[in-house]
Amino acid sequence: MAKTTAAGGPANLVIVESPTKTKSIQKYLGKNYEVVASKGHVRDLPKSTLGVNVDKDFEPKYLNIKKQADIIKMLKAEAKGKKKIYLATDPDREGEAISWHLAHILKLDLDDVDRVTFSEITKTGVKEGMAHPRKIDMDLVNAQQARRILDRIVGYKISPFLWKKIQPGLSAGRVQSVAVRIIVDRENEIRAFQPEEYWTIDAKLLAAGSKKAFPAKFYGRDGKKMELRCKEDADKVLAAVKDAPFSVASVKTGVRKKSPAPPFTTSTLQQEASRKLGFRSQRTMAAAQELYEGVELPKLGAVGLITYMRTDSLRISDEARDAAAAYIKEKYGQPYLPEAPRVYKTKSSAQDAHEAIRPTMPELTPDQAKDSLTADQYKLYKLIWGRFIASQMANAEYDTVSADIAAAGYTFKASGFSVRFDGFTVLYEEGRDDAEEKEGVLPPLAAGDSLKTQSVESAQHFTQPPPRFTEASLIKFLEENGIGRPSTYAPTISTILKRKYVELESKQLKPTQLGEITTQLMEEHFASVVDEKFTAQMEADLDKVEEGRKPWNEVLQEFYGGFADTLAKAEENMKDVHMKIPDEETDIVCEKCGRNMVIKTGRYGKFLACPGFPECRNTKRIAVEMPGECPLCGGKILEKKSKKGKKFYGCEHNPECSFLSWDPPIGEKCPVCGKTLLQKSGRGARVYCSNPECDYQRAAAPKKDEEE
């Protein structure tokens, strides 16, 4: 048994980051250990100054964080008299740096073997971590220091420049400025896009003995693809095939196999949670953190339900693979297991310190855990669990058929499939950013078969501009181009939204005027800072520091020399320049002076203001009109916001009309009294009548993510 102190207390102290973990870890380690939390960083660079001596090898000046004073006092008191102190902060660069700072504060020997990491907060994960203590990894610490100092230099040197040249309160960042530039570039592509006309021809055909028509699409002539650029092109084909017989020229059959997606990494988890659950990246990571740190389960107590959620590795342990296989065999049967266990290859640029994100207990289904989880935790656990189990299942198999159909020398194509074996799709299918064209089942067809024409119709189309980025597609782009790391995506997107460089419009990221002006200045004067390739190279250099292949201050030196020159030139070139953010003009006329009002952004969001300020000080709220009518007076229902930013809905004639609701109208009339229906979400979700004298209500249709 471990030795105790003179006071009879635990002889060993374990310091973690989050208080949520302490209960779980304490349970696994027993009474000879005391587990306490640092609540994140305890030291950092000063807020008021740069805190980095650029002339002395970029020596940082770290200070104790003021708001952490009580935590630091507690940690020092707890450390007294302990036989051994273990530093068990998170298993990544940031966690390694926190351990290093704790070692300095507690005056621990950096040569001590006192650093432990937990890939999962389970009995096995904690015991495994404690069994393999090591020294603090200074390569990891230095990679974090280099990143922190790089970000500090960029932020503290460029931000004041932006304050002077555009407006106070702006910020620049090594990753955030690139992200804004990418969004602005996409917006410029959309503006510059010139739509091109094209036409399609679709036939609906009937095979002999079949009552249901199947679709066939125009392909071309004599086996070669043919583009229909205008109505005349389409009309020429229509005229030729209008009364012509359709027949099957050739049929090809085959079997197509579809493999499951690999288990989640940080990036793919954020993308899929955005697509399937509608979660913002920050919401995803918050729920994932809770699942990792531990949830109270009946009979099991506090236990972590997923492995560490900041990873870009696809590796999984043999034990987890075996547990998944056992579950699949029991639940679905032997045919649903692949011939050989699946092993997914991690990208060469990925950090392979951790496993992929997976359930710590594959046998614990989402339904079994549901009563112990919040709504967000349940949805995310279901996503992670389903993806992981499916990743270890057999391929889906489809019987495919494609037919070339001839008419008047022209070729139409039809294709379809039927499921031969559902495989992993019985449980999970990956979401897509783009709409996938649905294929149906074709009737039995053979070369030479005559077909009856039900209809042949042409349709005009125009090519579409590239879509704006969503959070999911931006994260995918950043990852594919090596910009930032998985742990930076959520805070980066949150920052650019908070700073009003970008706004969300129908879940798409749209640059604001401020974002466009700031990006213009950055591109003109700090081109390297917003260059994708330069930023990706910086990430590669930080990885080299982590791997011990490059000194951290060398990375800083290579960056700073050119950066200091660039900043000096920008100061000189823009000495007397101030960039004005143009106002967005509306067609709403100021009733006091007749000018067209403009959109301004204030403390509580956007509002309408007269451009004649200060002569005319007229302002208005921006009204968002909702579907339906006020049940009391028949006026329009407007979306409004409280001072705390919460949406509510009220009559346009308020305060004369008293109608107000926290629940949005859905634009559907009550079948009983004809008034507008409202929808209540969350627990007890229902559709009900806005008329207080009407009792009509019904269950709300489930949201997409609840159906899956």
Is there a cis peptide before residue 614, judged by omega within 30 degrees of 0? yes
DSSP code at position 676:
E
**Residue 483 in contact with residue 493, Cβ under 8 Å?**
no
Strands (E), 594-685: 596-602, 605-609, 619-621, 624-629, 636-641, 647-651, 660-661, 665-669, 676-680
Q: Which residues contact 698 (CB under 8 A, 6 or more apart)?
A: 686, 687, 688
Q: Which residues contact 602 (CB under 8 A, 6 or more apart)?
A: none
**Residue 200 in contact with residue 228, Cβ under 8 Å?**
yes
**Residue 21 in contact with residue 294, Cβ under 8 Å?**
yes
Give the distance, in angstroms, between the CA of residue 416 and the centroid of all CA atoms in the same chain.
33
DSSP code at position 646:
-
**Residue 585 in contact with residue 596, Cβ under 8 Å?**
yes
The rounded distance, in Å, linking the Cα atoms of 653 and 659 is 9
Q: Which residue has the tokens 């990571």?
A: 285
The rounded distance, in Å, linking the Cα atoms of 643 and 522 is 34
Is 308 labeled as catalytic in the residue annotation?
yes
Query: How big is the chain by its Cα radius of gyration, in Å?
Result: 31
The rounded distance, in Å, linking the Cα atoms of 190 and 200 is 24
Of 28, 33, 86, 308, which one is the catalytic site residue? 308
**Residue 42 in contact with residue 71, Cβ under 8 Å?**
yes
Enter the tokens of residue 501. Answer: 């460089």
Through-space distance between the first and last CA atoms of the chain, rounded to whole angstroms: 50
Enter the tokens of residue 669. Answer: 């009339």
Coil, helix or strand for 469?
A: coil
DSSP string, 210-255: -SS-EEEEEEEETTEE----SHHHHHHHHHHHSSSPEEEEEEEEEE
The rounded distance, in Å, linking the Cα atoms of 140 and 548 is 9
How long, in residues, is the chain? 708
On the CB side of 138, CA atoms within 13 Å amount to 7
Identify the H or E element spanning 206. strand 197-207
Bridge partners for 16 per DSSP: 37
25-58 as b/e: b if 16+ CB within 10 A:
bbbbbeeebbbbbbeebbbbbeeeebbbeeeeeb
Query: CA geometry: angle at 517 spanning 515 and 522, to 5°?
Result: 90
Residue type for position 204: K
Residue whose C-alpha is closest to residue 312's, from 480, 121, 536: 480
Strands (E), 352-438: 396-407, 410-421
Query: CA geometry: angle at 315 spanning 311 and 321, to 5°?
Result: 125
**What positions carry a catalytic annotation?**
308
